[in-house]
Amino acid sequence: MAAAVPRNLTGQFVASERSIGALSSEVASRLITAAADIALVLDPDGVILDLAFGQSAVEYDTASFRAEDWIGRPWVDTVAHDSRAKVEQLLEEAAKQPVARMREVNQRWTDGTGLPFRYAAVPVGESGRILALGRDLRAIAALQQQLVRSQQSMEREYARLRHAETRYRLLFHIASEAVLIIDSTNLKIAEANPSAAELLEEPVRRIVGQAASSLFAPNSWNEVQDLLSTVRVTGWSDEKRARIRKDDTAVSLSVSLFRQDSGSLFLMRLVKLQGSGEPAVGRPTNQLLEVVEGLPDGFVVIDGSQRILTVNAAFLELAQLATEQQVLRESLDRWLGRPGVDLNILMANLREHGVVRNFATIIQGQYGLVEEVEVSGAAAAT
C-alpha cells in the first residue's frame, strides 16, 4: 500500500528559504520552462505580460504563432470559446488561494489552430501577478483517441462475429441432415440440431451433455471410435455405416474436425439409411436451399480440384456475373484472391483443420471491381 503524502508537503517545501535560497529571475525562468511546456506571466486582470515555452516545446514557435500577438492581450482572448470560463476560474482561484485547481484549456494560435493544455495558476509575490503553467496534452489526447478507435474496432468485430454466428446457427438448425457437435477431448455432445433430435427420438436438451458412445449400438461404437481417431489426424472422413443404440436404426455418418478457441470439436453428420442401404429422404431440403440462396454473404461450393459446383446470388453479385452457368466448373481462383496463392492457402488450411474462419482476401469481379472480403469455410465429406 502506497504511503500518503503528508499534507504539509503538498504545494510547498518544508524549508524553502534554507534549502533553495533566493533565486534570481534567470534561474527562476529556467526552472519554470523546465517544469512546463508553456508559461504565462499575467497581471492581476489576466492580461499577458510575458510568456515562454519549455525546451521540449520549441516546435510551438512557428509561423502559426507570434509572441507579440499575445503580449498585452487578456489571456481569455487567446483560448477557444469553450475554454474562456475555465480561464476565468483559474484566475479567480489564483487570486484567493496558493494554487488554483488544474484545468484543461484549448489554447488558440494566431492562425486559428490550437492545442490542448492542462494549466495550473499560482500567484507570484505581492504584486498580484499570476503565473500560469501549462502541460501539453497532445500525447494524452492521442492515446485517448487510439483507445476510442480500439474500442470501436472491437465493437465492430464483436458485431460481425455475432452476425456470423447467427447465420451459421440458422443453417445449423434448419439443416435437413442430423448434425452433432462433439467435444474431441471427452467425446461428449456439445450441440445437436433439431434433425438430430428427430433421428435420435430425444429432445435436444437431453442429447447435449451425453457421451457420444451412448448414442450408438455397442458393436458400432468401436468403428465410430476408429473413425474419430482417423479424423483427429486427417481432419475429415469418408462416409461410414453405424447403428443407433435406441432402435438399431442404420445410419451413414461422416465426420470433420474443426478448432474453436483452444480446443477441437468433431462435426458429425448422420443420415438415416433405408432398407436398401441408401440414404433415406429426410425433411425437404428446399427450405435450406432457399436460405442459402438468400444469404447476404457469398456462398460457394467447390470440389477437390477447386472447381465451382454451385454458388448463390450474393457470390454472383460480388463476381459481377449474371447467371450460375457462367461460373460452373470454373476454378474459384479466377475470382477469389491472388491467382495461385490465396486459394491454395485456404485449401491447405481446410485440409489440415477442416475449417477456416475470417481469412482476409479479395474478390475480383468480371469487370475489374475489386472488393475486400473475409472468407470462412468448412471441408465437407463426400
One domain, residues 31 and 116 = yes
User: Which residues are CB-neighbours of 113 under 8 A, at least 6 positions away?
Assistant: 64
What integer pLDDT is reported at residue 5 of this predicted model? 45
Average pLDDT, the chain: 80
Is residue 83, in this structure, part of any structural domain at all?
yes
pLDDT for 29? 65
Of the three residues 247, 272, 297, the one that is the final residue of a domain is: 272
Give the model's pLDDT for residue 275.
Answer: 59
Contact 312, 301 (CB under 8 A): no
Answer whether residue 166 is part of any domain. no
262: CB partners within 8 A, 6+ apart: none
pLDDT of residue 264: 86
Given this model, what pLDDT does residue 72 score?
92
> Does 111 share its domain with 30?
yes
The pLDDT, as a whole number, for residue 182 is: 93
Tell me the per-residue pLDDT of 266-317, one tens digit each, with 9 for 90 and over. Answer: 989 898 887 555 555 444 455 666 677 778 888 998 887 888 888 888 888 8
Domain coverage including residue 209? 175-272
* pLDDT surpassing 70 at residue 184: yes
Condensed to tens digits (0 to 9), the pLDDT of residues 204-246 reads: 899 999 999 999 998 889 899 999 988 888 877 778 899 998 8
Pick 28 or 339 by higher pLDDT: 339
Report how far residue 268's alpha carbon sits from residue 228's, in angstroms, rounded to the nearest whole number. Answer: 10
Residues 339-364, mean pLDDT to the nearest whole number: 81
Residue 9, in any domain of the structure: no
Please give the pLDDT value at position 19: 47
Same domain flag for 230 and 253: yes
Using a pLDDT cut of 90, give the percent of the chain over it. Answer: 15
pLDDT digits (tens, 9 = 90+) for 109-125: 777 777 889 998 988 87
Whole-model pTM: value is 0.42
Q: What's the pLDDT at 169?
A: 76
Last residue of a domain, one of 243, 272, 301: 272
pLDDT of residue 282: 46
What's the CATH number where 357 sits?
Answer: 3.30.450.20
Average pLDDT over residues 324-337: 86
Same domain for 129 and 23:
yes
pLDDT at 9 over 50: no
Does residue 350 lie in a domain region?
yes
